[in-house]
């Protein structure tokens, strides 16, 4: 679904002659999101423009649920709505998804970054996922009634504030190059190559941060590292768990299928062996699910895994689930863990628009 169709679909749903359904939260009992009570409207509705910005920060903490609960409180204090959060012990990483107006999302993102700077020390951090920052990645995504240009402006404002606080910043995606200029490749994979540890002696030539404080000494923040701030479209972040093949074979599959290996365009893929559970997974970002079908990617993984004598066990979607993957047939086909309407992006944005953007009067 294109961005225009996505926004129109939300407006059509929000303005329909029926109330929005209830707002559900995921399992672990942490502080409830602000504004999480659904509001019912009568049959006479009128809609107005409600620009909505999404942020999906990735934090280098996936084990301390108490700290994550405090982080959610910090974020929700700024009048945004937390749609989803996940924490992974072995990746030692948590991902939070929240939406709101531009000012609220920017303020919440700055508050979360400062909380992470105070609470995470990368010198003692060990996890499977590549990282260079306490707040490692902060993408902004334009959703309802919002242009990419405005998302870029939000990303750059937040990046500037983080630099002022002493955290060097890489800009990536649309935030670095704008929405119309030619964009030489500077992927997150290339930015984070070698991790936080590789930057301790300073930044290699060509990998200097885009923003830093005037008094910057040429190195990452000693404990919080560097943050990558970007603007992008909706993507699909997912992990596919497999069994019955070797880690070496899985690495070969990931290398073959990702774009950098000549495989699917817009696909980033990394094979991982989870030390605590002993499980194998391909961790992926599909950066344009419209241009490259996730069904085709999944079929290619399954075909190669089964050819090697193994099988796909299940799929874990990180963050909100794009609409096509919540259809019953898709849930079964992908073997998605924890599906449900509470994780359906368009439904949750529709509820948000209904709660904040509709005046209702009888005529």
Does the active-site annotation cover 221?
Answer: no
CATH of 51-233, one of 3.30.990.10, 3.50.50.60, 3.40.1280.10, 3.10.20.30: 3.30.990.10
As annotated, the residues of the chain forming the CATH 3.30.70.670 domain(s) are 236-321
Structure letter (DSSP) for residue 166? T
pLDDT for 48 equals: 61
Residue 28 has what pLDDT?
43
The ranges of the chain annotated as CATH 3.30.990.10 are: 51-233
pLDDT value, residue 339: 66
Q: What is the pLDDT of residue 309?
A: 96
pLDDT tens figures, 204-240 = 887 889 999 887 888 999 999 999 999 999 998 999 9
**SS3 track for 62-107:** CCCHHHHHHHHHHHHCCCCEEEEEEEECCCCEEEEEEEECHHHHHH
- Which helix (H) or strand (E) segment is 314 a member of? strand 311-318
Instruction: Please tell me which residue in 129, 144, 221, 352 is annotated as part of the active site.
Output: 129
CATH classification code of 236-321: 3.30.70.670
Q: How many CB atoms lie within 10 A of CB 14?
A: 22
CA dist., res. 282 & res. 253, Å (int): 9
**What would the two tokens of residue 126 be?**
């060990």
Over the chain (363 residues), the average pLDDT of each successive run of 10 is: 43 39 36 32 45 96 97 96 93 96 97 98 94 97 92 97 96 79 66 91 86 87 96 92 96 96 94 91 91 91 96 89 64 70 80 68 29
User: What token pair was written down for 113?
Assistant: 């970054």
Q: Please compute, for residue 136, the number of CA atoms within 13 A of its CA located in the half-sphere on the CB side.
A: 26
H helix or E strand, kind and range, residue 346 = helix 345-357
Distance CA 199, CA 317 (A): 31
């Amino acid at each position: 679904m294109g961005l225009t169709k996505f926004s129109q679909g939300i407006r059509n749903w929000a303005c329909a002659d029926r109330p929005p359904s209830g707002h559900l939260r995921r399992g672990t009992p942490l502080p409830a999101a602000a504004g999480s009570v659904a509001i019912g409207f009568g049959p006479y509705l009128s809609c107005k423009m409600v620009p909505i910005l999404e942020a999906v920060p990735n934090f280098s903490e996936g084990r301390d649920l108490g700290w994550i609960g405090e982080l959610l409180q910090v974020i929700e204090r700024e009048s945004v709505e937390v749609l989803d959060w996940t924490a992974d012990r072995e990746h030692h990483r948590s991902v939070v998804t929240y939406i709101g107006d531009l000012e609220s999302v920017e303020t919440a993102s700055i508050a979360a970054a400062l909380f992470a700077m105070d609470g995470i020390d990368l010198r003692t951090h060990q996890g499977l996922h590549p990282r260079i920052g306490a707040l490692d990645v902060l993408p902004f995504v334009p959703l309802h009634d919002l242009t990419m240009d405005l998302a870029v402006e939000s990303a750059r404002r937040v990046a500037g504030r983080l630099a002022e606080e002493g955290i060097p910043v890489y800009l990536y995606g649309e935030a670095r190059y704008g929405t119309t200029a030619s964009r030489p490749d500077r992927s997150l994979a290339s930015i984070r190559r070698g991790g936080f540890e590789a930057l301790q002696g300073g930044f290699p030539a060509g990998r200097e941060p885009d923003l830093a404080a005037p008094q910057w000494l040429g190195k990452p923040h000693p404990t919080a590292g560097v943050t990558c701030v970007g603007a992008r479209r909706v993507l699909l972040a997912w992990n596919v768990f497999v069994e019955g093949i070797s880690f070496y074979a899985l690495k070969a599959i990931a290398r073959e299928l990702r774009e950098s290996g000549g495989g699917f365009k817009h696909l980033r893929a990394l094979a991982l062996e989870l030390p605590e559970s002993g499980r194998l997974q391909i961790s992926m970002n599909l950066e344009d699910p419209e241009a490259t079908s996730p069904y085709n990617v999944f079929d290619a993984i399954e075909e190669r895994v089964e050819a090697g004598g193994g099988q796909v066990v299940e799929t874990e979607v990180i963050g909100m689930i794009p609409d096509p993957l919540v259809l019953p047939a898709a849930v079964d086909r992908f073997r998605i863990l924890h599906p449900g309407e509470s994780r359906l992006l368009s439904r949750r944005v529709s509820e948000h628009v209904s709660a904040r953007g509709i005046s209702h009067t009888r005529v």
